[in-house]
Amino acid sequence: ISDVREDIDHELISREDIQTKINDVAAQVSVDYADKDPVFLAVLKGAVNTMAVFSQAVSIPAQIEFMTLSSYGAGTASSGQIKVIQDVRCDVKGRNILIVEDIIDSGYTLDWLVRELKSRGAASVEVFALLEKPARRVVDVDVKYKGFTIPDEFVVGFGLDYDEKYRNLDSIAVLKPEVYEGE
């Protein structure tokens, strides 16, 4: 019987620490967005778990939307080309948008999305990124709500994948080097 945890070298952030951090951000967002009728917009697929946990921890009414973007393909480095796999299903014009992301790495994905939403006439666009990897930043993006700053290691779990696997790990972890050997 194979187990997704067999490929893990070490855990970086536990499920409990993720929950605590998301609760803190959700409490702040509940204050900042009270009476703003916000739209929480998750970037699939990576942000699926962050959105699920975050939205339950927020106490104010909010609309939940999704957009599927892809830039990584099968590798461990961003291509810089953002592909819209599935667009958001609501009109963002005049709305206060909070983007929910799992990680900001090069910054290409968020830079593109923030510009796109503003060009569609959003009233405001802010970002919550659970993870941030400053060593890999190419484009500067203003992230209002930050989770964890992590070292320059390729991480998986809690929505983050390597070659579409490991998203279903419940914590954030570093894979054994042999898993991406030959890339």
- Residues identified as active-site: 105
Check binding of 159 to Mn ion (CB under 5 A): no
Out of 21, 38, 46, 132, point to the residue binding Mn ion (CB under 5 A): 46
Asked whether position 154 contacts Mg ion by CB under 5 A, the answer is no
Q: Which stretch binds ligand PRP (CB under 6 A): 13-21, 56-64, 66-74, 91-99?
A: 66-74
Does the protein bind ligand PRP through residue 104 (CB under 6 A)? yes
> Nearer Cβ to ligand PRP, position 11 or 161?
161
141: number of CA atoms within 13 Å, CB side?
A: 30
Closest residue to bound ligand PRP by CB: 46
Residue 45 interacts with ligand PRP (CB under 6 A): yes or no: yes
| Stretch (H or E) spanning 150 | none
Distance CA 41, CA 64 (A): 6
106-135 positions binding ligand PRP, by CB under 6 A: 106-109
Does residue number 71 form part of the binding site for ligand PRP (CB under 6 A)? yes
Among 17, 32, 126, 161, binds ligand PRP (CB under 6 A): 161
Strands of the sheet containing 155-156, edge to edge, are: 8-13, 172-175, 155-156
Distance CA 121, CA 35 (A): 20
Strands across the sheet with 96-104, in order?
A: 83-86, 63-70, 39-44, 96-104, 124-132, 145-149
